[in-house]
Amino acid sequence: MYESRIISSTHDRRVGTDQSQVLASMQRHWVLVLVLTLLGAVAGLLLTNAQPTTYQAESRVFLSSNAAFDPTGMRTYVNDPSRFVEEQAEVMTSTPVLEGAIESGAPADSVLELRKQLEVVPADESDIVTVRASSVSEAAAIAMVDEIVQAYRTHVSAGVAATMEKIDDVVRPDRLQFARREAALFGDGVSLAEPAAAEQTSSLLRNAALLGLVGLMCSIGLSLLRDRVAAGTRSAPGPAVAERPLPERPDAGARTTAPGRRRTLPPPAGAVRQRDDELSPEAS
């Protein structure tokens, strides 16, 4: 516990020191920080102006039921309303529904293209599904949403009709009347669908803010790099000067033949004869 507190306090001090260094570096190089941030924001504005205008159409679809169609009233499983709404949102983006929307006039060449421009969002605690579509044309965006909602209603109606055909000959007449009443109440699965409305979507401020933030981060990195380079230059040692060894003083009677080596000269010839005479027996 004590060691963890020490590590935590050390980490906090280090983080505080790093933040103070960053702020001090930004203050020293405030011109660089300001220029790069403004350049990033201007680049975001120019990028937004270069892009085509985009329109987004939206419609809210109110489902007529929070459970699947059950003509006999003999459901044996527990219904989950939230899951049912999520499943209906998936049905709206399914291939049969999108193919029906394209056949009815949705401005798209393929199911994949239409699905990329489409966004279907189920509500969390209600039986509402929001359908959105984006396009460079306002009319095209509205047509996508309207045709998808209509194709979904047609798809659900066909499913209800197919279910009624299956049970027509297998249930009792009293149960058949109940099933027909349930089919009429369920309908096409939609109690209300708002007409699609489109508005222009602008990402001007978002792009300017994002690229301005990128410019700010780059300026902070350059400021810290310049401070480190300057600190390294000031603390770098100068060029090393090689120490020259002191010359040795030669002894008397010695001659230097090579660096670090000396040769002793032989004594004079007279001194050798005198020493031999002193050592001979006749002299004694």
Residues of the domain holding 166: 54-201
* CA dihedral sign of residues 175, 181, 187, 190: negative
152 and 18 in a common domain = no
Residue type, 220: I
Same domain assignment for residues 183 and 210: no
Q: Is residue 16 part of a domain?
A: yes
On whether residue 282 sits in a domain, the answer given is: no
Residue 147 lies in a domain: yes
Which residue would you say has higher pLDDT here, 12 or 202? 202
Sign of the four-CA dihedral 266, 268, 270, 271:
negative
CATH value at residue 114: 3.30.1890
Residue 137 CA to residue 71 CA, distance in Å, equals 43
In a domain, 248, yes or no: no
| Residue 67, burial from CB neighbour count under 10 angstroms (0-12, 13-18, 19+) | middle
Task: Tell the residue number behind the tokens 């959105």, with chain if given.
Answer: 132
Tell whether 94 and 124 lie within a shared domain. Answer: yes
Top pLDDT among 125 and 56 is at 56
Q: Which amino acid is at 261?
A: R
- 124 plus 151 within the same structural domain: yes
Q: 284 pLDDT band (50/70/90 cuts)?
A: very low
Q: Are residues 60 and 187 in the same domain?
A: yes
Asked if residues 224 and 233 have their Cβ atoms less than 8 Å apart, the reply is no
Over 90: is that where the pLDDT of 118 sits? yes
Are residues 41 and 177 both part of a single domain? no
Quote the number of domains for the chain. Answer: 2
Same domain for 192 and 59, yes or no, is yes
C-beta neighbour count of 156 within 10 angstroms = 21
Instruction: Look at residue 250 in the predicted model and tell me its pLDDT.
Output: 55
Same domain, 129 and 212: no
Residue 283, pLDDT > 50, answer no
Kindly report the pTM of this predicted structure. Answer: 0.58
pLDDT at 241: 52
Q: How many whole angstroms separate alpha carbon 141 and alpha carbon 149?
A: 13
Are 215 and 134 in a shared domain?
A: no
Task: Return the pLDDT at 243.
Answer: 56
Give the long-range contacts of residues 153-162, CB within 8 A, separation 24 or more. Answer: 153/188, 153/189, 153/190, 153/193, 154/100, 154/188, 155/91, 155/96, 155/97, 155/100, 156/91, 156/188, 156/189, 156/190, 157/187, 157/188, 157/189, 159/69, 160/69, 160/186, 160/187, 160/188, 160/189
Is 272 domain-assigned? no
Cβ atoms 137, 198 nearer than 8 A: no
Length of the chain: 284
pLDDT tens digits along 41-96: 888 777 766 667 889 999 999 998 888 888 877 666 667 888 999 999 999 999 99
SS (H, E, C) 68-100: CCCCCCCCCCCCCHHHHHHHHHHHHCCHHHHHH
Domain shared by 215 and 93, yes or no: no
User: Is 9 within a domain?
Assistant: yes
